[in-house]
Structure 1
Amino acid sequence: MTTPSLQDGIDKAGSPIGLLWKPGAEPWTPEVVAHEYAGWRTEQHAWHEGVALLNLSHHMYDMWIDGPDATRVLADYGANNFEKFAIGQAKQYLPVTKHGLIVTDGILAREGENAYLLSGVPEAQHWVQYHAEQGGYDVSLSTDPSTAFRPGGGDPKLFRYQIQGPLALPLIERAFGGPIPETKFFHSTPVAIEGRTFSALRHGMAGQAGYEFIGPWEHAAFVHDAFLKAGEPLGLVQVGALAYTTPSVESGWIPSPVPGIYSDPELADYRAWLPLFGIEGKRPLNGSFFSPNIEDFYVSPFELGYGKMIHFGHDFNGRDALLKAKGDESLRQKVTLVFDPEDVRRVIGSGEDPGFVLSYARNRVEGSSGLAGVTMQTASIDPVGTVLSQTLIDAAHATPGTQVTVVWGDHPGLGTDPEADLGFPRIRATVQPSPFDQHARTEYRRNA
């Protein structure tokens, strides 16, 4: 029996929106990891005020790209600067379509002269793999899916643990018996604990100091236990799946934008190559903003704040479209919406504390004259005392302090007028910068 393709699913559903629109869809949270260890509020406070341990080992896809043409295929289909990309460095990889639309970013680490590891949401890996195979590039590709989608189950090839927060460096010194080598931002250095060798990637989340430690799975339990032991006197808190999803709302990263692949006739072969039951066919859309046209959900890398990462000094797929879009004042801007706490309790909590809120819904954001933007990810941030939302909004409403309203609800989809008044409640919100966290917005971004 032939495995159905993404194109098969679109054809059967009648349109990309017919396939993807799923009102009431449950928001994604990482697989395998417990939802909470100390409670999501305590876990959020840990990386703001103390130190937190996060387990990224199970929900990320990894693809190794090796061979003489490894750099060439990545540069041909990504907008990054490969002229300045050191071995041991990592970058946010920006694959784009011919029309300059984001496919979905990933973390690309250069492990050798012709060797890379691409990690994250698998749309980026699929994009690179397809073009590497169809374009006849001299590369070898190997993939390790996330634990929930790994054929036959089994363990990951790599462990990934993050140590984050103001006390991250003291914990690391305790675990390693002293400070680890000074490392540039988003560069890695080899480290070891009792003969177990792995790597430390320097970065942070929500503006806090930290490292991500990556190594072979055979050392996973030992390294995890070593961090727990070293962190006990410092009040180390393990972070569960709920709290794990929320730092991006403060740090300004928008996860999993809709890839711009569903409507371009020139990508019909790509859609026929992609499996229906992959992320491109199963990541749902929902919210109060509805359009029957999937292109209304596409996103430019400029809107995501990736303009400084785009390198026009090389020829790549989508270069001409991005050059044309550069400086386009009609593009939306990325902002943080701070929800009014009283409205959050009234609308989401029915007058009580709403508890944990997480949504990837595309909700309408309205100004005085109607639609002004759309939410991309929304979550409770207990240290802030309310709900925040990463949002794309038109320039006229992007000034910090601007008052807007968020329409909270799920449009039923096809068959109902996109502009129908469905009686959804409104939540008042205030526009603030993105990233919301000041350190993430200044020092962290400057280092990036």
Structure 2
Amino acid sequence: MTTPSLQDGIDKAGSPIQLLWQPGAEPWTPEVVGREYAGWRVEQRAWHEGVALLNLSHHMYDMWIEGPDATQVLADYGANNFEKFAVGQAKQYVPVNRHGQIVTDGILARESENSYLLSGVPASQHWVQYHAEKGGYDVSFSTDPSSAFRHGGDPRIFRYQIQGPLALKLIEKVFGGPIPETKFFHSTPVTLNGRVFKALRHGMAGQAGYEFIGPWEHAAYVHDAFLKAGEPLGLVQVGALAYTTPSVESGWIPSPVPGIYTDPELAEYRSWLPLFGIEGKRPLCGSFFSNDIADFYVSPFELGYGKMIHFGHDFHGRDALLKAKEEGGLRKKVTLVFDPDDVRRVIGGGEDPGFVLSYARHRVETSSGLVGVTMQTAAIDPVGTVLSQTLIDAAHAEPGTEVTVVWGDHPGAGTDPEADLGFPRIRATVEVSPFDRHARTEYRRDA
């Protein structure tokens, strides 16, 4: 039996929107990680006030890209600067379509001169592999899916984050002293009782920390070592609920809609992609609706990736990105701070709404009408209310601007996208993105 492709799914549904629109879709949370260990509020506070351990081993796709043409294919289909990309360094990989819209980012680590590891949502991996195979590049691929798609067996590598104000103190306890000083988003080899792996200088919500990555055979030992050494420091394991929320503070918008569904020149690509993958199964919902999925595409400039774009080399989509930069008119990324009383009234029914997480695209309005759309929304306990990473028209992006968020799920095709469906409104105030001060200053400066 032939495996259906993404294009098959679109053709059967009638359009990309009819394939993906799912009102009321449950938000994604990481696989094979407990939902809560100490409670989501305690876990959120841990990386602000203490030290937290996050297990990233199961929910990320990993793809190793190796061969003489590895750098060339990544540079041809990514907007990053590959002239300044050291072995041991990692970057947010930014692939775009020919119109300059993002395909979806990933974390790209250079492991040797001709070897890279691309991790995260697999849309960027699919994009690189397809173009490498079609273009005849001398490169090979090895993929380790997330645990939900591996169909048995252990991950190839472990990935643990240690985050928070006490992170460096815990790391010194585990390794018997400080590990070598490392630049932001660079890695250094470390050894723990004969077990060799690497430490990537990282951070979430702007806090100090590292990501430790190594062979799965060492996973249990390394995990236990951090738990044991962290107990006197009040180490908190972070579950799936809290894990999904720090990006709302740090300004990273996860998993934007890939700009691949409408271009006739990508029909072959859509026929190459499987239907039962991220591109065919990541649902769309919310009060913002359009029959044209291109209205959900985003520019890397809107996501805050402008500094990562290097126009000093030729790459797919370069001219369109350069035109977008010169013309301006793009939306701005901001943080919306929801009014706490409205949150309780609309989401909590007058009570504490508890944990809130939504990837829905909700309408953001002023008296002049639609001015923006939410991208990720979550309750942040240290803040005491709900925050939302949002793309908004530049004219309404000034901090302090008052807006309203339309909270509800449009039913989809067959109903006017602009119909007033009686959804409740939540008042919100525009603030900067990243919302977290440390992420906005020291963290961004280091990056």
TM-score, normalised with respect to structure 1: 0.99
Q: Check the 8 A contact 1:69/1:137 in 2, yes or no.
A: yes
Letter matched to residue 285 of structure 1: L
Deviation at 1:153, TM superposition (A): 1.0
Q: Distance in 2 between matches of 1:131 and 1:75?
A: 12
Q: Map of 1:346-385 to 2, 5 A cutoff?
A: 346-385=345-384
* Structure 2 counterpart of 1:42: 42
* Structure 2 counterpart of 1:332: 331
* Structure 1 counterpart of 2:342: 343
**Deviation readout 1:112-157 (Å, 9 max, x if unpaired):** 000000000000000001001111000010000000001x311000
| Residues matched between the structures, number | 447
* Structure 2 counterpart of 1:27: 27
Q: Distance in 2 between matches of 1:324 and 1:86?
A: 29
Q: Check the 8 A contact 1:16/1:262 in 2, yes or no.
A: yes
Q: Map of 1:89-104 to 2, 5 A cutoff?
A: 89-104=89-104
Q: Distance in 1 between matches of 2:330 and 2:169?
A: 43
Deviation at 1:380, TM superposition (A): 0.3
**Deviation readout 1:220-270 (Å, 9 max, x if unpaired):** 000000000110010000000000000000000000000000000000000
Q: Distance in 2 between matches of 1:242 and 1:430?
A: 25
* Structure 1 counterpart of 2:440: 441
Q: Check the 8 A contact 1:104/1:121 in 2, yes or no.
A: yes
Indicate yes or no: 2:183 matched with 1:184: yes
SS at structure 2 position matched to 1:336: strand
Deviation at 1:367, TM superposition (A): 1.2
Q: Distance in 2 between matches of 1:216 and 1:161?
A: 12
* Structure 2 counterpart of 1:205: 204
Q: Distance in 1 between matches of 2:445 and 2:202?
A: 12
* Structure 1 counterpart of 2:66: 66
* Structure 2 counterpart of 1:117: 117
* Structure 1 counterpart of 2:5: 5
Letter matched to residue 19 of structure 1: L
SS at structure 1 position matched to 2:218: helix
**Deviation readout 1:300-345 (Å, 9 max, x if unpaired):** 0000010110000000000000000004332100000000000000
Q: Distance in 1 between matches of 2:126 and 2:8?
A: 17
SS at structure 1 position matched to 2:171: helix
Q: Check the 8 A contact 1:65/1:141 in 2, yes or no.
A: yes
Q: Check the 8 A contact 1:366/1:404 in 2, yes or no.
A: yes
Deviation at 1:371, TM superposition (A): 0.1
When structure 1 is superposed on structure 2, of 163-172 and 438-447 the one drifting more is 438-447
Unpaired runs of at least 5, structure 1: none
* Structure 2 counterpart of 1:240: 239
* Structure 1 counterpart of 2:148: 148
Q: Check the 8 A contact 1:48/1:165 in 2, yes or no.
A: yes
**Deviation readout 1:247-297 (Å, 9 max, x if unpaired):** 000000000000000000000000000000000000000000000000100
* Structure 1 counterpart of 2:76: 76
* Structure 2 counterpart of 1:424: 423
Deviation at 1:5, TM superposition (A): 0.3
SS at structure 1 position matched to 2:327: coil
SS at structure 1 position matched to 2:132: helix
* Structure 2 counterpart of 1:301: 300
* Structure 1 counterpart of 2:399: 400
Letter matched to residue 67 of structure 2: G
**Deviation readout 1:329-364 (Å, 9 max, x if unpaired):** 321000000000000000000000000000000000
SS at structure 1 position matched to 2:214: strand
Deviation at 1:442, TM superposition (A): 1.1
Q: Distance in 1 between matches of 2:168 and 2:252?
A: 24
Q: Distance in 1 between matches of 2:280 and 2:140?
A: 26
Deviation at 1:368, TM superposition (A): 1.8
* Structure 2 counterpart of 1:415: 414
- Percent sequence identity over matched residues? 87
SS at structure 2 position matched to 1:208: coil
Q: Distance in 2 between matches of 1:337 and 1:81?
A: 32
**Deviation readout 1:16-45 (Å, 9 max, x if unpaired):** 000000000000000000000000000000
Structure 1 segments of 4+ aligned residues over 4 angstroms from their partners: none
* Structure 1 counterpart of 2:130: 130
SS at structure 2 position matched to 1:218: helix
SS at structure 1 position matched to 2:395: helix
Unpaired runs of at least 5, structure 2: none
Q: Map of 1:167-316 to 2, 5 A cutoff?
A: 167-316=166-315
**Deviation readout 1:139-193 (Å, 9 max, x if unpaired):** 010000000001x311000000000000000000000000000001100000011
Letter matched to residue 89 of structure 1: Q
Q: Distance in 2 between matches of 1:356 and 1:322?
A: 38
TM-score, normalised with respect to structure 2: 1.00
Letter matched to residue 138 of structure 2: D
Deviation at 1:212, TM superposition (A): 0.1
Letter matched to residue 273 of structure 2: L
Q: Distance in 2 between matches of 1:249 and 1:198?
A: 30
Instruction: Name the Cα RMSD after superposition.
Output: 0.5
* Structure 1 counterpart of 2:16: 16
Q: Distance in 1 between matches of 2:322 and 2:392?
A: 21
* Structure 2 counterpart of 1:162: 161
SS at structure 2 position matched to 1:256: coil
* Structure 2 counterpart of 1:51: 51
SS at structure 2 position matched to 1:326: helix
Q: Distance in 2 between matches of 1:49 and 1:328?
A: 43
SS at structure 2 position matched to 1:99: coil
Q: Distance in 2 between matches of 1:367 and 1:324?
A: 29
Letter matched to residue 67 of structure 1: G
Q: Check the 8 A contact 1:329/1:395 in 2, yes or no.
A: no
Q: Distance in 2 between matches of 1:447 and 1:81?
A: 17
SS at structure 1 position matched to 2:405: strand
